[in-house]
Amino acid sequence: MRLAEEYDAAQDRGEVSKGRDGPGAGVSQGNAKATASDLGLARKDIHEARQLRDAEKAEPGLIKRSLDG
């Protein structure tokens, strides 16, 4: 869940590319924004982290109960 929070915040700050930016987008002063791959992250992992975060937000304690069960 922390991965999702930090990655989304970095996108909001313009530090990493958003998937919809397209090729060459985000070029600022000659430097393109980092991508998930550049950071050693798989887009699938970010997606799964977002799903966990959203599920926990919708139903607090869900993940702990799942792990305990």
| pLDDT tens by residue, the chain, 69 residues | 999 999 999 999 989 988 765 555 555 545 678 889 999 999 999 999 999 999 999 999 999 999 998
Q: How far apart are CA 69 and CA 62, in angstroms?
A: 11
The sign of the dihedral angle between the CA atoms of 25, 33, 35, 8 is negative
C-alpha 67, offset from chain centre: 23
Q: Which pTM value belongs to this model?
A: 0.74
- The per-residue pLDDT for 51 is 96
The token pair that represents 23 in the structure block: 């090729």
CB 11 within 8 A of CB 28: no
- The per-residue pLDDT for 18 is 85
